[in-house]
Amino acid sequence: MQDDYIHLRIKKIYLIVFALLLVSFAFGYIVGRGFNVFTYLSWWEKELIKNGDFDDNLNYWDVVHNSNVNDVYDVIVKTIKLNDSDDKIVEFYRNNSYADGGTVALKQQLGVDVSHFSELYLRTRVRIINYTELNTGWWCEGSSNPFCVGESPVFVKIFYKDKDGKRHLWHVGFIESDIYNKTGYVYIPVNEWYDFESENLMNIDPKPAFIDYILVGGTGWDFKGDISYVHLYGK
Ligand SMILES: [Ca+2]
């Protein structure tokens, strides 16, 4: 009985010493980072997109479709071999467009305050399969509408607000080439996977404060494209 009591006391002392050590390490860490609670909270990268690998199929994603004609479209999840392991990818396509522009995409509502972030990166792996509108389109050429950014068989768009609540769009489009030389496009070959990482999006102007939603897919006439993953990491 007496022995049990002593053992319990020893266990308790060990626990207290362990807790004190943890607290002192945490305190040392905070002091080392200058007492800034936001810096302290942001030591790790935070993934803002749910199911960005599509391992959980289309869960958390909504299909978006815009067309003025009676086109044929779909968004499907496929499993492919990538580097000797299975990878679930999203394939989207649009046919019967009759050279009339439209969109097939996936949308995820994010609603994340990023105002205290110092870094934010979009990372994605994409592949163009085919497309019929060979450039980014003439109709946004010289447009003063910041949401009119042109068309490409694969794109990622991030809709965000600045600190004053004004809406903006960050965009990257993937296409082979473009006679219009619009900004925000990366030229890649057809039928090859391409890994893309954005610049630090906390350095763009206007600076993001709140991310509304992300849109990934294709836009143009007929097109077909693949997305292996799309991640938005912040810290
Ligand atoms: Ca995947």
Phi-psi region of 123 (alpha: psi -120 to 50; beta: other; left: phi over 0): beta
CA of 51 from ligand 1 middle (Å) equals 9
Residue 142 binned pLDDT confidence (cut-offs 50, 70, 90) = confident
Between the CA of 209 and the centroid of ligand 1 the distance, in Å, is: 28
Tell me how far the alpha carbon of residue 202 lies from the centroid of ligand 1, in angstroms. 26
CA of 221 to the centre of ligand 1 (A): 26
Angle CA 73–76–80, to nearest 5 = 135
Residue 136: both structure tokens together: 């980014």
The domains found in the chain, sorted by start residue, are 2-41 (no CATH), 46-234 (2.60.120.260)
Q: 141 alpha carbon to ligand 1 midpoint, in Å?
A: 34
Cβ-contact 200, 119 below 8 angstroms: yes
Ligand 1 centre to CA of 229 (Å) is 5
Task: For residue 45, report the distance from its CA to the centre of ligand 1, in Å.
Answer: 20
CA–centroid distance, residue 39 to ligand 1 (Å): 31
The number of beta carbons lying within 10 Å of the beta carbon of residue 15 is 10
**Could you identify the residue written with the tokens 């004004």?**
166
Distance of CA 62 from the midpoint of ligand 1 (Å) = 17
Average pLDDT, the chain: 91
Of 125, 228, 230, 231, nearest in space to 174 by CA: 125
Say what the pLDDT of residue 2 is.
Answer: 62
35: left (phi over 0), alpha (psi -120 to 50) or beta: left
pLDDT, one tens digit per residue, over 24-83 is: 777 666 555 545 454 455 567 899 999 999 999 999 999 999 999 999 999 999 999 977
pLDDT band, residue 1 (cuts 50/70/90): low
CA of 55 from ligand 1 middle (Å) equals 6
